[in-house]
Structure 1
Amino acid sequence: MDLGPYLVLATLEGAVTAAVLALTAVGLSLVFGVMRVVNIAHGEFFMLGAVIAWAIAQAVAGYPAVGFALALVAAPLIVGALAVAADMTILKRLEYDPERTIVATIGLLYIIQQLTLMGYGPDARPVTPPFNTRLAIPWFEKGADGWALIWPWGLGTTSYKLAVIGAAVVILCAVWALMARTRIGLVMRATQADREMALAFGIPVERVYALVFGLGAGLAALAAVLIVPIQQAHYLMGADPLLLSFIVVIIGGLGSLPGTVVAAVLIGLSDGIISVFFSPTLAKILATLLVGLVLVFRPQGLFGGRGA
């Protein structure tokens, strides 16, 4: 098989990574953009979403579609509620001070991680996808008789992976609509622009912060529910999403949702392609190098303003 089909296959794998990464990174970017809080525990909220999805799937064993549908709804709500509780009991008491909230979220990271280890265990456990039909992908090849449609062996994907990409696009559009077309989004943007002025106009800023923190965590949990049938739930699985989300947010621009999505697509596709042709380690090295170049030549990120 020529290079072209391999490239198509690698691009599809990268698109799945990009879709899940975009959801996770948008949650992180939203929290920083509105609250100016760097949430180091964001990856653990992702991990909690996967673990809760596994627990729900086990509770309705034998009905994978039902379990997955319940997990899609329940996991983001549960994780979002936990994040709201963490905001009201920890971050609010610290008055959202940037330095102290970093330390607090590091502590929250270890608390969530160790409690999950105690209750869930150290093993990685799979979740059955609701559907997983194998889909062959055609390719055009020029032979002696001209161009012909062929079906190369091994060139294919699954219906579930395509569904993950589609679901991520729908969710990201919904987040954009929430921020740009609703009163809640207007209040969030007003709080982001000027906290003191928002308070003067009677906007309950602390409630907005709690809502945003919960929404960011819920998006991370939702991304985990989508990816856990492809990967496996594990109590240490939050590290890579956290690292990649920070890379994406820095490249896209702190607090810039469009920049975050574009950077997630860039990093996700490059990660998938480089991992297939070379190694996952090289993909991470190049992503880190790109962050360094962005910080040197454009510290505000590709889409961030000078004040970001």
Structure 2
Amino acid sequence: MSFGPFLLLALLEGTVMAAVLALTAVGLNLVFGVMRVVNVAHGEFFMLGAVCAWFVTWYLPIPPALAWVAALVIAPLVVGAVAAIADVTVLKRLKYDPEATIVATIGLLYIFQQAALTFYGPDARPVEPPFHLRLQFPWFGYSGYKLFVVVAAGVILLGVWLLMTRTRAGLVMRATQIDRDTAQNFGINVDRVYAGTFALGAALAAAAAVLIVPIQQAHYLMGHDPLLLSFIVVIIGGLGSLRGTLVAALAIGLSDGVISMFFSPTLAKIIATLLVALVLVFRPQGLFGAKT
């Protein structure tokens, strides 16, 4: 193949990565934007979503397509419930102190990781995709499921935007984000908002994992890269800015796809890290973040 088809393939792979990364990073940024909590355990919620998807598709005695759909519903609900319990039992008791919550979420990271190792095991296990479709381009064939991942992630992100901008729940979350004390004085149950926000962020990471796990495999250590890349996206886009998160995820995903195709995945990660350093030096609030 000439350069053009290779570039097209790299852009397709980068788009798939950007879609999943945007879904994961939006969950992380949502938690920080509303709660001001840096959730270091966010990658493990991603991992728990993939592991839960494997359990659902493996043990439900239904066709693979229906099992995957069930996993897309069940895994985010289960992981969101786990996150809500973690918020109520750990973060709330720490009064959401920034330094304490970082340490606490690091502890949660290892707890979830070891729990997955105990009950799931050390092996990487595949999840059957809901359908097998190969699209034939003039130069190569490409997985139709990967393109479906992009569409599905876009639909979920649209749902998050509608939730935040068109519903009372989103209005309450944004009010709490702007001024917690004033929101509480107006009768908003801030603790319930925080628990719901933490659960929603974890559920988005779990949904991203269910989408990607038929392409990759479920493994108890798979949360590291999503966590690192999500932090990179959030820092570049701007803490608390969902629009910045989407733009940064698209930029990082496409650049990673192209650089990994023509050079190496390691170089792609190095360049992304350098971008973070430049943003922190010249625009600490991120490209779309507001100055405080």
User: Quick check: TM above 0.5?
Assistant: yes
Q: Which has the higher helix share?
A: 2
Distance 1:133 1:62 in 2: 20
Partner of 2:13: 13
Deviation at 1:60, TM superposition (A): 2.8
Runs of 4+ in 1 over 2 A off after TM superposition: none
Corresponding residue to 2:209 among 215, 224, 247:
224
Q: Identity of counterpart residues, as a percentage? A: 72
In 2, Cα distance between the equivalents of 1:295 and 1:12?
Answer: 30
Show the counterpart of 1:267.
Answer: 252
- How far the C-alpha of 1:157 sits from its partner, in A, is 1.3
Paired residue for 1:26?
26
1:126-154 C-alpha deviation (Å, 9 max, x unpaired): 011011211112xxxxxxxxxxxxx22xx
Q: Deviations over 1:256-282 (max 9, x none)?
A: 000001100000111111111111100
Aligned to 2:124: 124
Provide the residue aligned with 1:206 in structure 2: 191
Q: What is the TM-score with the length of structure 2 in the denominator? A: 0.99
Letter of the 2:239 partner, please give it.
L
After superposition, the C-alpha distances for 1:91-123 in whole angstroms (9 at most, x for unaligned) are: 000000000000000000000000110111100
CA shift for structure 1 position 187: 0.3
Rounded to whole Å, the distance in 2 between the matches of 1:107 and 1:295 is 27
Partners of 2:259 and 2:238 lie apart in 1 by 24
Count of matched residue pairs: 292
| Paired residues of 1:46 and 1:220 also in contact (CA < 8 A) | yes
Q: Is the 8 A contact 1:180 1:186 kept in 2?
A: yes
Matched, 1:135 2:120: no
| Structure 2: distance between partners of 1:270 and 1:62 | 39
Residue 304 in structure 1 maps to residue 289 in structure 2:
yes
Q: Helix, strand or coil: the match of 1:135?
A: strand
Q: Does the alignment pair 1:104 with 2:89?
A: no
- Equivalent residue letter for 1:68: W
2:226 is equivalent to residue 241 of structure 1: yes
2:73 is the counterpart of 1:73? yes
d(CA) in 1 for partners of 2:15, 2:34: 28
Aligned counterpart, 1:175: 160
Q: Kindly indicate whether the alpha-carbon contact (under 8 Å) linking 1:23 and 1:223 is maintained by their aligned counterparts in 2.
A: yes
* CA distance in 2 between partners of 1:10 and 1:103 (Å): 38
Instruction: Give the Å deviation of 1:156.
Output: 2.6
- State which structure, 1 or 2, has the greater radius of gyration over its C-alpha atoms: 1
Secondary structure at the residue paired with 1:157?
strand
Gaps of 5+ in 1: 138-150
- Tell me which residue corresponds to 2:266: 281
Paired letter, 1:210: A
The question of whether the paired residues in 2 share the 8 Å contact of 1:253 and 1:300 is answered with yes
The 10-residue stretch of structure 1 (52-61 or 171-180) with the greater mean CA deviation from structure 2 = 52-61
* Matched letter for residue 105 of structure 1: T
Residues 60 and 66, structure 1, Cα contact 8 Å, conserved in 2: no
DSSP 3-state at the match of 1:48: helix
Structure 2 stretches of 5 or more lacking a match?
none
Shift of 1:61: 5.7
In the aligned structure 2, how far is the partner of 1:56 from the partner of 1:22? 25
**CA separation in 2, counterparts of 1:52 and 1:245?**
21
Deviation (angstroms), 1:158: 1.1
- Answer yes or no: is 1:162 the counterpart of 2:147: yes
Code of the residue aligned with 1:122 in structure 2: it is P
The one-letter code matched in structure 1 to 2:199 is G
1:60 and 1:276 map into 2 onto residues whose CA distance is 38
Structure 1 residues 296, 122: CA separation in 2 closer, same or farther (over 3 Å shift)?
A: same
CA distance in 2, matches of 1:90, 1:38: 14
- Name the structure 2 match of 1:145: none
What letter matches 2:194 in structure 1? Y
Contact 1:126 1:229 in 2 (8 A): yes
- State the shift of 1:62 in Å: 6.6
Q: Distance in 1 between matches of 2:291 and 2:274?
A: 22
Counterparts of 1:103 and 1:271, CA distance in 2: 30
Aligned counterparts of 2:52 and 2:81: Cα–Cα separation in 1: 13
SS in 2 for 1:122: coil
- Aligned mates of 2:185, 2:163 — CA distance in 1: 24
